[in-house]
């Protein structure tokens, strides 16, 4: 897959995930209701994006991977039924290292993230046809959630035409909790 095709693919995945999060996002602001189990913190959109970038950088550093990192930027999506509420999402991937290096990076992240304040909720095969390795974690302080998936199409016994064009990679999907910023408008990115 060429660089521009990867960018288009990453953008489409990000757009689909944004729509999903927007549709299922936050549903209230108080702890007493059935929606969020927390009160959203006040934070400017730019500060929230900076925090998400920092979290992504920490994950990349802990993975010790060096390769082609997708150029995706963090973006905001509204939290349903929260006035001026939003969450920041960041989808990115690393391609280029060997399948063994990518597997080793997943194991390293599974070991190292808990040492850096992350709680592991799941580590194992995804419930999908590919059965790719998936790691789901949450930062105990900032409450960012992350899903990290290992995709190794080079090892698939019968890859599809589309999978044959894919590169082995690790993909990261990071989402912040809902924040509130009186200046935020749903079309702000």
**Residue 37: CA count within 13 A, CB half-sphere:** 1
pLDDT digits (tens, 9 = 90+) for 117-143: 999 999 998 777 667 899 999 999 999
Tally of domains within the chain: 1
The answer to whether residue 188 is domain-embedded is no
The model's confidence at residue 7, banded by pLDDT at 50, 70 and 90, is: very low
In-domain check, residue 187: no
Domain membership of residue 15 (yes or no) is yes
Identify whether the C-beta of residue 138 lies closer than 8 Å to the C-beta of residue 37: no
* pTM for the whole structure: 0.77
**Nearest one of 164, 142, 140 to 151, comparing CA atoms:** 164
Percent over 70 (pLDDT), the chain: 79
Residue 189 covered by a domain: no
Q: How far is CA 71 from CA 92, 97, 157, 181, in A?
A: 7, 17, 30, 26
Q: Which of 146, 3, 173 is nearest to 92 (CA)?
A: 173
Q: Looking at the domain assignment, is residue 69 inside a domain?
A: yes
Does residue 172 lie in a domain region?
yes
Residue 186 above 70 pLDDT?
Answer: yes
The domain containing residue 164 runs over which residues?
3-180
Q: With CA atoms as reference, report the closest residue to 70 among 144, 151, 11, 136.
A: 11
Residue 39 lies in a domain: yes
pLDDT, one tens digit per residue, over 58-85 is 999 999 999 999 988 999 999 988 889 9
Q: Is residue 28 part of a domain?
A: yes
Q: Which of 110-119, 121-130, 177-186 has the highest mean pLDDT?
A: 110-119
- The reported pLDDT for the residue numbered 39 is 85
pLDDT for residue 1? 46
| Mean pLDDT, rounded, for 143-169 | 88
Report the chain's mean pLDDT, rounded to a whole number: 82
What is the predicted pLDDT for the residue at 30?
33
Task: Give 10-26 pLDDT, tens digit per residue.
Answer: 444 443 443 333 333 33
């Amino acid at each position: 897959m060429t660089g521009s095709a990867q960018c288009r693919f990453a953008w489409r995945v990000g757009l689909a995930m944004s729509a999903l999060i927007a549709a299922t996002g936050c549903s209230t602001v108080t702890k007493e209701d059935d929606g969020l189990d927390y009160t959203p913190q006040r934070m400017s959109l730019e500060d929230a994006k900076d925090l998400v970038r920092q979290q992504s950088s920490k994950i990349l550093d802990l993975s010790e991977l060096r390769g082609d990192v997708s150029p995706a930027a963090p973006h905001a999506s509204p939290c349903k039924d929260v006035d001026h509420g939003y969450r920041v999402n960041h989808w990115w991937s690393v391609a280029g290292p060997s399948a063994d290096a990518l597997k080793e990076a997943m194991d390293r992240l599974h070991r190292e993230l808990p040492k850096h304040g992350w709680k592991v909720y799941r580590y194992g095969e995804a419930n999908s046809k590919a059965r790719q390795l998936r790691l789901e974690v949450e930062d105990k302080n900032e409450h960012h959630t992350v899903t990290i998936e290992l995709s190794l199409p080079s090892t698939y016994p019968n890859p599809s035409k589309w999978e044959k064009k894919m590169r082995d990679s690790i993909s990261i999907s990071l989402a912040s909790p809902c924040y509130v910023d009186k200046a935020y408008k749903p079309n702000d990115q």
